[in-house]
Amino acid sequence: MHIVKKIKIATRRSPLAIWQAEYVKKELIRNHSDIEIQIVRIQTEGDRFLDAPLFDIGGKGLFIKELEEALLSKNADIAVHSMKDVIVELPKGLEISVIMKREDSRDVLISNQYNSIAEIPDNSTVGTSSLRRQSQLKQVNSNILFEGLRGNVETRIGKLDDGKYDAIILAAAGIIRLGLAERITEFISFSHVLPAVGQGAIGIECRTNDETTQQLIAPLNDKDTSLCVLTERAFSRRLNGGCQLPIASHAVIENNQIKVDGLVARLDGSKVIRLQKIGELEDADKIGSSLAEALLDNGADAILKDYLK
């Protein structure tokens, strides 16, 4: 008797989250002919409170908690996340089993008036709620005025087009995935702005003891991306990081070694501590945490204390 495997995918309701879930569905079907997939759309806490900055809402896992609850209650078999939203300490019984090949992990400028960050005049209003972006962009232009910007990608671009901002900053990956790449004004180089931990990577979370599902999703894993994100998350874990802190990290594999940059910054841009480590692939986890230790030794601890009071 032929048995059809059934999988329920938990996802947020935003267009980008749905795109990611559909992408995972398509890849699973490509790898398994005998599979039936249902997408379960769930509203998360981060989606409900769109008027307040993430820093003010507080707490970690604002965009994934309800998806994880669906996994633990067996109302879903896997949850699809943007890895930059995934907390480093997962609930007992859950794991990130797969990290898919990374999209462009840079941030981008979108503006109807200016061609680059460097061109933006003093006292212009730039939309972003990210402390990480604000603190680094203050280094490029200390006189930019930042205003909070929440909502899905289309909503944010709509606010720009309505004239509420002179420019906005978003993650390249989401723009590209939604087919909106023509709206990108400038890809911001890593030398100016390091991305969030895990930015541009899609992760698949499932129950630790669900070996059947783990085997089904295993072909979707990208080894290089997994190593890079593992390194970045080790960095974040040591710094007790999350979306609410001005920390950033980005790892790449070059010449069969892993190279990772990391930073901690004051919100006003007055102090940015940025360092780099290079090491062997098998030491990815250690390299990330040792980079964090080096930053702490160079003054990052004093900066972070202000945010973790």
**180-198 residue pLDDT tens:** 999 999 999 999 999 999 9
For residue 245, name the pLDDT band (cuts at 50, 70, 90): confident
Indicate which CATH number applies to the domain containing 285.
3.30.160.40
* Interatomic CA distance for residues 21 and 13, integer angstroms: 10
Q: Are residues 150 and 243 in the same domain?
A: no
297-309: average pLDDT? 84
DSSP 243: T
Q: Are residues 140 and 175 in the same domain?
A: yes
122 within a domain of the structure (yes/no): yes
For residue 47, name the pLDDT band (cuts at 50, 70, 90): low
Q: Are residues 57 and 150 in the same domain?
A: no
Q: Are residues 95 and 116 in the same domain?
A: no
196 within a domain of the structure (yes/no): no
Q: Are residues 262 and 115 in the same domain?
A: no
For residue 44, name the pLDDT band (cuts at 50, 70, 90): confident
73 within a domain of the structure (yes/no): yes
How much of the chain exceeds pLDDT 90, in percent?
A: 78
pLDDT in tens, 146-184: 999 988 899 999 999 999 999 999 999 999 999 999 999
- pLDDT in the model for residue 242: 60
DSSP 118: G
118 within a domain of the structure (yes/no): yes
How much of the chain exceeds pLDDT 70, in percent?
A: 91
Task: Please state whether beta strands 5-11 and 78-82 pair in parallel, antiparallel, or not at all (unpaired).
Answer: parallel
Asked if pLDDT for residue 50 goes beyond 80, the answer is no
Asked if pLDDT for residue 305 goes beyond 90, the answer is no
- pLDDT in the model for residue 141: 85
Asked if pLDDT for residue 3 goes beyond 80, the answer is no
194 within a domain of the structure (yes/no): no
Exposed e or buried b per residue across 179-200, where buried means at least 16 C-beta atoms within 10 angstroms of its C-beta: eeeebbbbebeeeebbbbbbbb
Q: Are residues 91 and 212 in the same domain?
A: yes
Q: How many CB atoms lie within 10 A of CB 219?
A: 12
Q: What is the mean pLDDT of the chain?
A: 91
Asked if pLDDT for residue 267 goes beyond 90, the answer is no
Q: Are residues 72 and 117 in the same domain?
A: no
* Interatomic CA distance for residues 29 and 220, integer angstroms: 11
For residue 2, name the pLDDT band (cuts at 50, 70, 90): low
Q: Are residues 9 and 88 in the same domain?
A: yes
So which residues are the catalytic ones? 85
Asked if pLDDT for residue 287 goes beyond 50, the answer is yes
Q: Are residues 111 and 88 in the same domain?
A: no
150 within a domain of the structure (yes/no): yes
* Interatomic CA distance for residues 216 and 100, integer angstroms: 14
Q: Which helix (H) or strand (E) holds 99?
A: strand 94-99
For residue 309, name the pLDDT band (cuts at 50, 70, 90): low
- pLDDT in the model for residue 189: 96
Q: Are residues 207 and 180 in the same domain?
A: no
Q: Are residues 241 and 275 in the same domain?
A: yes
pLDDT in tens, 96-127: 999 999 999 999 999 999 999 989 999 999 99
Answer yes or no: are the C-beta atoms of 107 and 193 closer than 8 Å.
yes
Q: Are residues 14 and 154 in the same domain?
A: no
Cα 289 to Cα 223, 253, 294: the distances in Å are 20, 17, 9
For residue 1, name the pLDDT band (cuts at 50, 70, 90): very low
Give the count of domains, the chain.
Answer: 3
**CA end-to-end distance (rounded Å), the chain:** 60
Asked if pLDDT for residue 33 goes beyond 90, the answer is no
Domain of residue 145: give its range.
107-188
pLDDT in tens, 203-219: 999 999 999 999 999 99
193 within a domain of the structure (yes/no): no
Indicate which CATH number applies to the domain containing 91.
3.40.190.10
285 within a domain of the structure (yes/no): yes
